[in-house]
Structure 1
Amino acid sequence: MSAASNRSRADKDPAEWLPSDGSYHCTYAATWVGAKLRLDLAVDEAERQAPLGLAEDCPHTTVVYERAVS
């Protein structure tokens, strides 16, 4: 990911930002969901719906995570 791309996403969730390269949408969404699950972070309804919508286009993508140790 380029520095400019990283700045444009800042701390936005998949409801607000997706990589310009559409072939990376599934990986990005799975990584984002995995991070939320790993850290047991809350999500609002828009954050919950965005990855669900992407999941329809990502039948071979799996979310992998290990819960963080507190």
Structure 2
Amino acid sequence: MPMASVHCRYLGEWVGTKHRWGLAVDQAEREALLRYAASCPNARITYEPAL
């Protein structure tokens, strides 16, 4: 995949933001995130909870 590292970083930032702020994910978004994440097997997501 072209620009895979950028793609995986964006996906990680998206998921990290969702976790940090406790944002909901609907079924369609969850399925899309899982599908895209399959191309990022070594990605790690870190975040700090919002205060």
Q: Considering the TM-score relative to the shorter chain, is it more than 0.5?
A: yes
Unaligned runs of 5+ in 1: 1-20
Aligned length, in residue pairs: 49
- TM-score under structure 2 length normalisation: 0.80
- The aligned residue for residue 64 of structure 1 is 46
Unaligned runs of 5+ in 2: none
Identity across matched positions, percent: 47
State the superposition RMSD in angstroms.
1.3
Higher helix share: 2
Residue 33 of structure 1 aligns to a residue in which SS? helix
**Runs of 4+ with >2 A deviation:** none
Higher relative contact order (CA 8 A, sep 6+): 2
Matches within 5 A, 1:27-46: 27-46=9-28
- TM-score under structure 1 length normalisation: 0.62
